[in-house]
Structure 1
Amino acid sequence: MTDTEVAPTTPADLPETARDNRRRAWIVTAMLVAFMMVNFADKAILGLAADPIRQDLGLSATQFGLANSAFFLLFSIFGAAGGLLADRVSPRWLLLGMALLWSVSQAPMALGAGVAMLFASRILLGAAEGPAFPIAQQTALSWFPDHRRNLPSSLITAGTTLGIVIAAPVLTWVVRQHGWRSAFAVVAVAGVLWAAAWAFTGREGRHAIAAATGTAAEPGSANVAYRRILATRSWIGVTAAYASTYWMIALALVWLPSYLHNGLGYSSTTSANLVALVWAVNAVALLGQAGLTGWLLRRGVSSRWARARVGGITLILAAAGCLALAGGRRGPLTVMLLVLGFGICGVMASIAVTTVAEVTPAERRGGALGLMNAVVTVAGLLGPVLIGRLVDTQGPAGYRTSIVVSGVLLLLGGLAAVTLVDPDRDRRRLAR
């Protein structure tokens, strides 16, 4: 055969085109947004159905707080372990297994289990959901270079808020019309449906290939020890800031509906709508932060300002909202302060992820994100039971005390982000 007789290369022989790659990237991102929506709907059930669950199972506020804290008993440990495992095993299959376990853990409560199984099912759910956020972020970021990661990362984080926006009115209606156990059945089915769709669409992007094949994306990057990453001021600063955010997430998931209903006197329907409003504002804030940060980075502004200080200032504003909210009563001003205190602090979740991803070599990214998530979610273990204890001992005043504590934690987190985080500096140090 002569050179001119060689068969021409067909489109099937060519690598995936840039257009196909972009389409696949956004399909995977959309699936991961849905993944986080189911994830947070799972978490939200106990808070949305707090009063009927406590009444049917005879739980005090402290015991109910313990049931919610049980969710975080293994959450942090498995979050760290899952993140480390994701550096060695395809995240595609880890995500599929997690979603199926979520559904299994919800089934006993849907079928009539009691208090003991409530605790056991929450522990299992926490173990299965512990690695969800870091692995979802790692999978999404594998499709995008650093300068394009703000939007997909924020969308994944916004999935957590959209889950509550949809779950709050829908699950509240299910609880009122069909009983609180039906809500557990709804989220169990949602998990199974997502897993079935992911089995056909889930995939990692080309930015994960170097790690998967064992080749270093940067000279010497595979030799960077986790302890060096965890010792950077940027990792410490964003972890502290994200921990204050996670405290607010736990408070919003577990006690915000009860605070609005029992502390401020709103009806259950109005409380559910206000919860949805808070999380909707959170989603808007996340997308706004992604746009602002991307705009700043494209104009050459350092990540220290474009990410860390944008997030830190946001937390400080949220802290001011919480501290003012503690002395408020039901009314429009309270709603505004509620939105300020609870509705904008979630931007730090996305900022923390993209900052750690920027600092950390690809081969260590899953572990670094998982370990960060393990640390910050300790706030979820401590927060619900502490607030439950305050409510039992102080009555409605316990809610106000918890809001003050939350404002102080947000202030400290914001200061940590502003003063400690400098990704450019720490990335250079790790490269030495």
Structure 2
Amino acid sequence: MTAAPALLAGRADGDVRQRRQAWTVTALLVVFMMVNFADKSVLGLAADEIRADLHLNATRFGLANSAFFLFFSVAAIVVGMAADRVSPKLLILVMAVLWSVAQVPAAIGGGLAVLVGSRVFLGAAEGPAFPVAQQATLSWFPNHRRNLPSALITIGITLGVIVSAPTLSWVIQHHGWRTALWVLAVVGVVWALAWAVCGTDSPRAREAAAADEGAVAGRAAAKVPYRRIFASRTWIGSTVAYFTSYWTVALMLVWLPSYFRNALDYSADTAATLVVVPWAVGAAVLFGQVWLTGRLMRRGAGTKAARGRVGAWTLVVGAACCLAVPLAGSVLAQTLLISVGLGFSGAYATVAATTVSEIAPPGRDGGALGLMNAVVTVAGLLAPAAVGALVDAQGDAGYQHAVLVSGGLVALGAVAAFTLIDPERDRAQLLN
């Protein structure tokens, strides 16, 4: 008679421990993404100093930033698919250690070749970060509870820039841009040690998938080839929309500080503060997406509306604000439109990740997220170089034209999201 209550108590304790582990992993991976985007943003924050130190024009500086994404996409595909078979904890630990190692050559010294080489290596190590972090986090939660943890991982991107922009800018102004690289190397090592001690893989895997979908569906899903996932309209629509969103993210990371300093004539300190605003707008939009998506799903709405349409409207607002920048009559109005436009445009990552995770059968989510991230981050390869060429060709006007190009691309992404995304339809087709 006492065995049943004891068994129930044991299960309850196990559930509490698992929930605690789930949120511990989520918190650590939020910081992981903060470090990731601090690494990405440091060259943009030091753009004028690096260009002066290494005697670079805008095009060459843009190409140096684009080099970061040279193997970024390839690494995202390879490691994303490996994450379906190899411990995500191990993959994430190796990535974090490599990030720190990658900062050292340029921190020690050298010219453009050393800087480019270190950024190529860093990009290859960071390419899989977002999809693997999303997979590692989402595997702890059932589909209906994934919006918040996925949003928190994406918020790590924003927090990384919000924290690093003023901090690294101060280091750059007072101690030089190479010292900022040393700071990032140390931070990466500290995080890796914390992850080695506290990080853990989810026990969910196939057992939870079978519980959610049924044993038969789970076995059938394991046989679904990747090509069917990549050919689904939802995967294509999410990837196209996210690509246009990531274009604006690359613009913010590399060129926004220079835009504020050179085209809008803000001081270096003011620009370091203002560069945070679009990211803060994006964070607010992200939490708004989570709240609205959750509310719609609780009321019985399908994920076509709750994820696809909500994300599409976010892109519409971002595109409209970016395209309205030339109409602004003052620097303040331009700053507000740029901040709102880029903030809304860059807040699509969570929608993309949760949508693709929803349609991907068990054992295929790592590869599905990895290839999406690989395609999307090609925007990071193209955008910095394209904007640099515009600035060299047109001077300060090139910055504004870069925002207009971004607005047009984001509008196309919104169209793709509206017309292609229907997760429930495509998941049913993949499981049949």
- Cα 1:357/1:124, change in 2 over 3 Å: same
Distance 1:158 1:165 in 2: 10
Question: Using a 3 Å threshold, how does the CA distance of structure 1 residues 51 and 369 change in structure 2: closer, same or farther?
Answer: same
Shift of 1:272: 1.0
Q: Give deviations 1:202-258, integer Å, cap 9, x for gaps.
A: 112233254999x98724001100000000000000000000010000000000011
What code does the residue aligned with 1:400 have?
A: Q
Q: Distance in 2 between matches of 1:188 and 1:299?
A: 46
Looking at structure 2, the residues matched to 419 and 288 of structure 1 have their Cα atoms a distance apart, in angstroms, of: 22
1:76 — aligned with what? 73
How far has the Cα of 1:111 moved from its partner? 1.3
- 2-side partners of 1:281 and 1:15: how far apart? 39
Q: Structure 1: how far apart are the matches of 2:230 and 2:7?
A: 48
Partner of 2:124: 127
Give the alignment partner of residue 181 of structure 1, picking from 172, 178, 187: 178
Task: Kindly provide the CA deviation profile for residues 294-348 of structure 1, in whole angstroms up to 9, marking residues without a partner as x.
Answer: 1111111110011011010110110010011144365332232122211122331
**Residue 70 of structure 2 is aligned to residue 93 of structure 1:** no
Which residue in 2 is equivalent to 1:408? 408
Q: Secondary structure at the match of 2:189?
A: helix
Aligned residues: 427
**Structure 2 Cα separation of the partners of residues 75 and 378 of structure 1:** 8
Q: Counterpart of 1:208? A: 205
Give the Cα separation in 2 of the matches to 1:290 and 1:13.
Answer: 33
Say which SS state the counterpart of residue 167 (structure 1) adopts.
helix
**Of residues 189, 194, 199 in structure 2, which corresponds to 1:192?**
189
How far residue 128 of structure 1 moved from its aligned partner, in angstroms, is: 0.1
1:293 alignment partner in structure 2: 293
Give the whole-Å Cα distance in 2 for the aligned partners of 1:398 and 1:183. 28
What is the DSSP-based 3-state SS (H/G/I as helix, E as strand, rest coil) of the residue aligned with 2:85? coil
User: Of residues 54, 57, 65 in structure 1, which corresponds to 2:54?
Assistant: 57
- Given that residues 106 and 185 in structure 1 are in contact (C-alpha distance below 8 angstroms), is that contact kept between their aligned partners in structure 2? yes
Equivalent-residue separation in structure 2 for 1:46 and 1:142 (angstroms): 33
Q: Residue 43 of structure 2 corresponds to which residue in structure 1?
A: 46
Question: Which stretch of the first structure deviates more once superposed, 383-392 or 202-211?
Answer: 202-211
Distance 2:84 2:12 in 1: 25
Distance in 2 between the 1:77 and 1:107 partners? 23
**Separation of aligned partners in 2, 1:286 and 1:135:** 20
The question of whether the paired residues in 1 share the 8 Å contact of 2:243 and 2:379 is answered with yes
Aligned to 1:266: 266
Q: Which residue of 2 aligns with 1:332?
A: 332
Which residue of structure 1 aligns with residue 346 of structure 2? 346
Q: Name the residue aligned to 2:155.
A: 158
Q: TM-score scaled to structure 2, two decimals?
A: 0.95
1:355 to 2:355 alignment: yes
Residues 240 and 389 of structure 1, relative CA distance in 2, 3 Å threshold: same
Residue in 2 that maps onto 1:240: 240
Over the aligned positions, Cα root-mean-square deviation in angstroms equals: 2.1
Q: Distance in 1 between matches of 2:174 and 2:418?
A: 47
CA distance in 1, matches of 2:204, 2:304: 23
Which segments of 5 or more consecutive residues in structure 1 lack a partner in the other structure? Answer: none
Counterpart for residue 304 of structure 1: 304
CA distance in 2, matches of 1:175, 1:260: 17
- AA aligned to 2:284 is V
The residue type paired with residue 56 of structure 2 is L
Cα distance in 2, alignment partners of residues 414 and 129 from structure 1: 27
Is this contact kept in 1: 2:264–2:331, CA < 8 A? no
Q: Name the residue aligned to 1:106.
A: 103
Q: 1:388 aligns to what?
A: 388
Structure 2 spans left out of the alignment, 5+ residues: none
Identity %, equivalent residues: 56
Q: Which deviates more from structure 2 when the two are superposed, residues 353-362 or residues 274-283?
A: 274-283
Amino acid at match of 2:290: A
